[in-house]
């Protein structure tokens, strides 16, 4: 299973890897699969968790369909279009996360691991 995900990621098929994880890893939702991929450095994915949905006043997607999940992520980015153009989805999420908490986090652990 993970070998398949690695092959997909090596070929830059991030959406396919996302779908494969959701379909094959018990207990990992569409949201957490996206977070998992983002933590691996695929910043085109964002974790559309409760915090993000509350901040942008949208319903949390309850779907396991990756395309629908991505549409919901795009809706969030459309609510802050300037930021949505400037940074990839995962960094957008971090900026929104910090904004909601009125703090700034460096996320050094993540940057250290991917750089």
* pLDDT tens-digit series, residues 58-86: 888 776 788 889 988 999 999 998 988 88
pLDDT at 18: 96
Stretches in the chain below the pLDDT threshold 50: none
52 is in which domain, residue-wise? 2-114
Contact assessment for residue 40 and residue 73, using Cβ atoms and an 8 Å cutoff: no
Contacts of 55 (CB under 8 A, 6+ apart): 96, 99, 100
Nearest to 65 by CA among 38, 29, 101: 29
Overall domain count for the chain? 1
Distance CA 18, CA 84 (A): 21
Report if pTM > 0.75. Answer: yes
How is residue 37 written in tokens?
Answer: 């991929």
């Amino acid at each position: 299973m993970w070998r398949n995900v690695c092959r997909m990621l090596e070929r830059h098929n991030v959406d396919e890897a996302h779908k494969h994880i959701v379909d094959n890893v018990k207990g990992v939702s569409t949201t957490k699969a996206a977070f998992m991929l983002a933590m691996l450095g695929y910043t085109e994915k964002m974790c559309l968790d409760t915090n993000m949905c509350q901040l942008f006043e949208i319903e949390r997607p309850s779907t396991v369909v990756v395309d629908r999940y991505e549409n919901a992520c795009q809706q969030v980015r459309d609510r802050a279009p300037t930021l949505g153009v400037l940074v990839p989805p995962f960094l957008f999420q971090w900026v929104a996360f910090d904004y909601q908490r009125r703090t700034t986090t460096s996320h050094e652990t993540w940057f250290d691991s991917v750089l």
